[in-house]
Structure formats: structure tokens, C-alpha cells
Amino acid sequence: MTTTPEPRLAAASPPGSVPAGDAAAPAAAASGARQVWRRLRSRPSAVWSAAVLGLLVVLALAAPLLAALEGQDPDTYHDALVDSARGGVPIGPLGGVSGDHWLGVEPGTGRDLFVRLLYGARVSLLVAVGATVVQVVIGVLVGLAAGLGNRLVDSVLSRFTDVMIALPMLVLAIALTAVVPAGFPRPVLLVLVIGLLNWGGTSRIVRAQTLTLKQLDFVAAARLGGSGRWRVARRELLPSLAAPVITYAAILLPSNIVIEASLSFLGVGVKPPTPSWGQMLSTAQVWFRADPMYVLLPAGLLFVTVFAFTVLGDAVRTALDPRAAGRLGVGRRGKRGPRGPRKAVAATGAAPETTSATAPAPDSTPGSVPAPVSGSAAPPPGPGPASAPPHHDAPEDPAS
């Protein structure tokens, strides 16, 4: 959306307010990171979602081990475990749950569901993380080039970025999968397709941030000191870009998981026999009544994963930029007005304005130390006025 006005961001971060103390920078950076960590830890939702995701990653990594423990593998058919007279419905309760098959078996084929779900998690996470890395690398490079380049470079790259953001990525991804030879490894293809199509948001943020940072004294000082353009970019700009980029990557991850699942659901993603959650769901419709577990398990896993990533992403955003979060009223407890629309509205009416103008950033919890403007604003990584992660730019909607 090009029309959403964003002047507030600029107004909230007057370039002059950032002290350029090179000596103080490392200390401030360290305390900044610690502060972010503390803020993250003090939010129960962040801790829970991180725990869930940690567990999922461990399970995915340990998939071969767990498979061995169960004594199954993802590809063996067990014809004896499905009732061929009823079209292949698993025999036994809850989709054939037994000591040998902890989560039952796949209808039709009798393959072990537990192991297939675990291997599906591997595919999901690998593709999502890989695609996110590609997106961030391209986004940062293009954004930096646009922000640092001359007017022509900037306008060409920005225009290109706008187009990439506007085009519906799912449609393009589907179309792209049509032209790739069948022998190409699908997970790699998915990483590339998703990565190459969906970097626009990152690039836009990096460009905006670069333009802001370029005006600051410490960058000017580095330039006067004789550093070349790319040296400035690497040494001075990249560290300050960390906060917004991390924030955005945290939003990209779940969206990439959804895109992978969607493509596999549509039959143009990961190909069988490689297990994938989306693929399982595409065949699940037939088994609604006969084997509901086959629908609910992959759907539940996918939902929990995406939800946990979303919650964690929100928490990371709040922790890195409590000021913006406070303005939008995310995660504030102590300052909530009493119930009832009238008073609540009156209370919020004034609060965001004052916080963004003068007061230190409101924090997610009363206990932790609020980030004072001077402390957090030292250039390298710490969150501060200069780092304004996206409020309006959600990643492209994977679709509908």
C-alpha cells in the first residue's frame, strides 16, 4: 500500500536526537541486546511460543532418531493395517494408533503417520528458513543499494520493489513451478521460488532505514574519515539495520511456512513420497468421516507452528521497538483503563500521544526497565528512535 501515510515514523525520530558516540557504542550495543532479551523473557507469550517452536525444531532434527525409536520409517507401506474393503481406512482406534504406530497410520497406504509428520516438519522448517535467508539477503542488498545509490538507481530499484510487492506471490510461485524440469529437487526449488519472489518488504524497510541513517552524524563522520560507500554500508549501516531486519524476518518465517504448505496443498510443492503437511491436507478431504485424525493432526501441527511463530514475531517486534508497540497499544497491561468503552477510550486517547512525544517508551511489563531515549539510541544494534520496524508493511498475504 503506497498510500498509507507514515509521517509519524519520521516525526518520532528526529535525526539530531541520536548521539554519535563511537566509544560508547559497544557498551550500548551489548546492553541493548541484553535489554531486548530481558523484555522477551518477561513476556509469557514469548516464552511459550519459543518453547513450542524449540520443541518442534528438536523433534524435526531428531526425526530419524525418533523413527528408529518407534521402529518405523516414512515410506514403508503396511497393507495389513488398512481395511481395503472400506477403501483403506486404518484399522483400530483413532486412525490405527498402537504401540507400533504412535499416531496411527496413513489411510490408504498404511505408512506410519508419526514419522511422516516429523519428516514433514523438517521440510516445512527447512524451506521456510532457507527462503527467509534468501529473502533477507536479497532484501538487504537491494534496499542498501537503493538507499545509497544515486537517484536513478534508487528510483529503478524502488519501482521494481513496488512491483514485486504488488504482484500476488502465490500465483507467480505456482506459475514458476510449471517451467522447472521435473528432476530439480523440489525443496530447493521452493526455497528459491519463495525467496526470489518475496523480498520486497525487507528491501523497502532497509531502504527507508538507510535513508534515515545516512543523515546521521556518525555516518557522515565515517564518510569524512574516508570510508568508501560500501565500507560505510558494512561497518556503519548494517549493524543499525539489524533490529528492523530481524523483526521483519520474524514475520516472514511463518508466512513462508504457509506458502510452502499452500504450494504443497495445491500439488505444486514438495512431491510425494517426500512427506509434507500441506500435501497430507490435500488428500485429507476424502477421509473426513472415516479417519478424522488424518485431517486434524497435520492441520493442528501447521496451525500451532504458524501461530507460535506469529506470537513470537509479535513479541520480538515489541521487544525491539517498545515505543511503536506502546503507541499501538500492544502488550500493555499496567496502563489499561477500567472496563467500559467510555473511560477506556478516554484513557487511550491521550496515552499514545504523550508516550511517543516525550516519555520513555512504555514497556511490556511494569517490572523491566524502560528504554530511555539516550541509552537505546546509540547507533549500533540497540532499538531506538532510528529503528522503526514496519507497522503498516505486513508481509505479502500469501493469498486466499
Partner 1 sequence: MTRYLLKRLGGAAGVLLVLSVAVYALFYLVPGDPARLACGDRCSTQQVEQVRERLGLEDSVVAQYGEFLRGVVAGRDYSTGTAVLHCDAPCLGFSYKTDQQVTQLILERAPATLSLALGAMVLWLVIGVGTGLLSALRRGGITERALTVLTLAGTGTPVFILGLLLLMLVCAYLRWLPFPSYVPFTDDPEQWAWNLLLPWLTLGLYESAKYARLTRGSTLETLAEDHIRTFRAYGVGERAVVARHALRGAVPPVIALSALDFGTMMGGAVLTESLFGIPGVGKTLIDSVRQVDLPVVVGVVLVVGVAVVLANVVADLLYAAADRRVALL
Q: Which is nearer to partner 1, 69 or 153 (CB)?
A: 153
C-alpha cell at 138: 536479497
Q: Looking at 106-114, 206-214, 281-289, 364-372, which segment touches partner 1 (CB under 8 A)?
A: 281-289
Distinct helix (H) and strand (E) counts, the chain:
18, 2
Q: Is 172 in the site for partner 1 (CB under 8 A)?
A: yes
How many Cα atoms within 13 Å fall on the side-chain side of residue 178?
Answer: 7
Q: How far is the CB of 280 from partner 1 (least distance, A)?
A: 11
SS3 105: strand
How many Cα atoms within 13 Å fall on the side-chain side of residue 339?
Answer: 0
Tell me the C-alpha distance between 19 and 13, whole Å: 12
Q: Is 47 in the site for partner 1 (CB under 8 A)?
A: no
**What does each C-alpha distance from 282 to 86, 122, 123, 132, 140 come to in angstroms?**
20, 19, 16, 25, 35
Q: Which is nearer to partner 1, 112 or 260 (CB)?
A: 260
Q: Which is nearer to partner 1, 144 or 251 (CB)?
A: 251
List 23, 85, 99, 285, residue binding partner 1 (CB under 8 A): 285
- CA 55 from chain centre, in angstroms, equals 18
Q: Is 86 in the site for partner 1 (CB under 8 A)?
A: no
DSSP for 48-72, written as a single string? HHHHHHHHHHHHHHTHHHHHHHHT-
Q: Which is nearer to partner 1, 164 or 377 (CB)?
A: 164
Q: Which is nearer to partner 1, 105 or 250 (CB)?
A: 250
List 77, 184, 230, 307, residue binding partner 1 (CB under 8 A): 307
E strands in 221-333: none
Q: Looking at 119-127, 135-143, 208-216, 256-264, which segment touches partner 1 (CB under 8 A)?
A: 256-264
Q: Which is nearer to partner 1, 181 or 225 (CB)?
A: 181
C-alpha cell at 370: 524502560
List 79, 99, 150, 400, residue binding partner 1 (CB under 8 A): 400
List 299, 360, 365, 374, residue binding partner 1 (CB under 8 A): 299
Q: Is 357 in the site for partner 1 (CB under 8 A)?
A: no
Burial class for 220, CB neighbours closer than 10 Å (0-12, 13-18, 19+): middle
Residue 33's φ and ψ, nearest 5 degrees, are: -60, -40
Q: How far is the CB of 72 from partner 1 (least distance, A)?
A: 26
Q: Which is nearer to partner 1, 126 or 290 (CB)?
A: 290
Question: What residues numbered 124-163 form the site for partner 1, per CB under 8 A?
Answer: 163
Q: Which is nearer to partner 1, 213 or 306 (CB)?
A: 306
Q: How far is the CB of 64 from partner 1 (least distance, A)?
A: 27
Q: Which of 256, 383, 264 is nearest to 310 (CA)?
A: 256
Give the 3-state secondary structure percentages of the chain, helix then strand then coil, rounded to 5.
65, 0, 30
Q: Which is nearer to partner 1, 66 or 172 (CB)?
A: 172
List 327, 380, 385, 388, residue binding partner 1 (CB under 8 A): 327
Q: How far is the CB of 253 from partner 1 (least distance, A)?
A: 10
Residue 171's φ and ψ, nearest 5 degrees, are: -60, -45
List 51, 58, 188, 346, residue binding partner 1 (CB under 8 A): 346
Site residue total, partner 1 (CB under 8 A): 72
Tell me the C-alpha distance between 205 and 389, whole Å: 7
List 23, 85, 179, 224, residue binding partner 1 (CB under 8 A): 179
